[in-house]
Structure 1
Amino acid sequence: MFFIIITLQLVYCLMDFNPIHQTSSQEQHWISLQNKLDSTKAVNPKQEYKEYSYNPNFISDFKAYKLGMTLPQINRLRAFRELNKFANSPEEFQAVTGISDSLLEAMAPNFKFPDWVNNPRSSSYPKSKWKEFPKKETLKILDINQASKEDLMKVFGIGDAISDRILKQKEIFGGFVSMDQMTDIWGLTPEVIAEIDKYFIIESLTKIKKININTASIKELGQFYYFKYPISKNIVTYRSMNGDIKIEDLSNIKGFPVDKLKIIALYLEF
């Protein structure tokens, strides 16, 4: 028994019970490739890469990180660019990003800023190339009754057709007595009327041909823009029954356009 125990212990100590590992052909291939790489590194311990110039304002996050910039520094540069601002020198780039002096010294040799940064007085475009736009003509304030077609068309919003309507309306009245009459012209918007009021006024009414409301016949009254046959007839009837019409009597005449009374009165004689 003692002899058996001693024999088993010797076998346990002397025998290798680990599984035998057989190297496959694929593993042998990779090992040989690794050996070639190691030998190449031994011959060329450091491979040099050519650095290209770049505008640091447009550096990508990946390249910035690869060059050694931290995430907060990259975020500061991005926020600066979102404000549509540019760093125009290595010093400004450092002030914006907060990179260290050593990192700036490593990066700055490859910085490339636009030519106009280095030569602010130079321009790639000859002076003669720049187009000079004519200055907007300053309109003088004119009497609307003296305005020509060209004068009217200088106002923003008045074209060929509307200017003709204004002149036609002036011809019908024999002249305007109030700028409020622009509202009677078809096609004039409130915005355009406001522009007309900036440049035209009524200076004098002396040349306006007036109608004598106490002597004019129904036919003569009917030729006036604001009077149609029924109103003209009511005017003649009213004065035949009440005598001469005064300005304060106009609102008592049946059918009289009271909303235009102030304008109509300026065309009448009493």
Structure 2
Amino acid sequence: MNFFKSHFWYHKSQRNGIFFLLISIIILQLVIVFGNFSSEENSDVNTPQVLAFHKQIDSLKFLEIENRKPKVFPFNPNYITDYKGEQLGMCIEEIDRLLAFRKTKKFVNSKEEFQKVTKISDSLLNKISPYFKFPDWIVKNSQKKQYSNSSVAKKNQSSFNKLKNKITTTDINKATAEDLKTVYGIGEKLSERIIKYRTKLQGFSFDYQLNEVWGLEKEVAEKVLAIFKIIEKPTIKKVNVNTVSFKELLKNPYIDYNLCIKIFNYKDEVAELQEISQLKNITNFPLDLYDRIVLYLVAE
């Protein structure tokens, strides 16, 4: 008993202190349990200050993402590796095309040639081509070539303008011998030969018919066609293949004696051609001449 009594025996001031402590604890517990600590005002997250703060955070995030991306420095596209190509966004097939081209000991010397070899898309080319760095001598040669091409183009245009003032027409089916002689390489004989052949054909229907003129070289023919064009196609008199005579059919500038015999033999077999395209059924018919042969024939 004395043991417990020693622990619970207090004088008056001690008892008052213990009582005050108990009251304080009870009051504090009541405040915690029944007190309202919630804020009655809701914070507005759409205020200009909050929005500006979020915008600043987003910009910082974007800068961090950009800084983490691998930087691209100027490079020679001839030496792209598999790893470098993947970083640039090229697929394996595009990289392999470039590597195969390089194995032939050739080099790409322009962004256009790079696209031609690799067959990359225009969007990817526009993205990576600003980083292409070719040797200085290639860049200088390219500039010289562009300047040279520009000078040649101006010179040709000037020459064409001069010729245009001298000729009476640019229609090859109406051009005179004097008109044709304004072309370098066309003299008296060739101009007359062109007009004579044009008369035989009843007029040029296709540009490539000019190459059929005897003695006219291809380069000279191209010069003629650079100035003179088929503006109005000729009106050609056609004959009925079913009623035409042998002699009349031979007048066709593209039908020789042997072909004429084949056509008449075929007519005897089928009695009558219903369509002119039936000529293609003839054995060993010159299909490369078909479009010109039928200029003069009709099946009726």
TM-score band w.r.t. shorter chain: 0.3 to 0.5
Select the structure that is richer in helix.
2
Larger RCO: 1 or 2 (CA < 8 Å, sep 6+) = 1
- TM-score using structure 1 length: 0.46
